[in-house]
Amino acid sequence: MVKEIAVATRNKDKIKEIRKILKDLNVRILALGNFNNIPKIAEDGKTFEENASKKARIISNFTDRLTIADDSGLEVEALGGRPGVKSSRFAGKKTDYAKNNAKLLRLLQGMPASKRKARFVCVISIAKNGRVLNVVRGTCRGSIGFETRGRTGFGYDPLFISPEYGKTFAELGPRIKNRISHRYRALKKAKIVIKRLLDF
């Protein structure tokens, strides 16, 4: 029997990425769309850890399954760590990737490359029966470009430049991105915990 893990997100791009990174685990990954009457969860925490843990607790209790919840975002040094936990709604509550990227470019206008340091952060909370069992974090350092580049990925991928490759995540494509990203690094740690909890 294939074991199941619930992932506390409706973001199809995140789910796709998580499934690719965890594909070597013999588990069925269920998104929130696989369940009915899922409660709405306000992401009102001040840290990625608070938001991820809140989602993991509520969804694990509701679905009665081992649950992983991801809260991630971009921290730009010159902006004092913004957009941070508000990365997905940086340009307002009803926004999209393009508007968020445009706002970021506007705020960094005229700033030289040396001042455009940034990092992606991903925190994953693992919970069961409403109780958080473990929290892991992954980070990836880079810089913000002067224009969007590339056609793959999502979020700030067209602006985030990997120093290792000199290209944006959106230019690198999923095959390379999923080997170096903040989410990959967090999930690599989470995978060890998941294996233990599911008795692999």
The whole-angstrom separation of Cα 67 and Cα 7 is 6
Residue 18 has pLDDT above 90, yes or no: yes
pLDDT digits (tens, 9 = 90+) for 83-136: 999 999 999 988 999 999 999 999 999 999 999 999 999 999 999 999 999 999
Q: So what's the pLDDT on residue 200?
A: 44
71 is catalytic: yes
Mean pLDDT across 32-47? 93
The whole-angstrom separation of Cα 197 and Cα 120 is 27
The whole-angstrom separation of Cα 7 and Cα 180 is 21
Instruction: Check 24, 44, 70, 71 and give the catalytic one.
Output: 71
What is the tally of structural domains in the chain? 1
Domain range for 80 is: 3-197
CATH classification of the domain holding 144: 3.90.950.10
- Tell me the residue type at 74: L
In sequence order, the 6+-apart residues with CB closer than 8 A to the CB of 158 are: 101, 145, 148, 149, 150, 168, 169, 170
Nearest CA-CA partner of 71 in 133, 6, 11, 158? 11
Residue 39: DSSP 8-state:
P
Q: So what's the pLDDT on residue 26?
A: 85
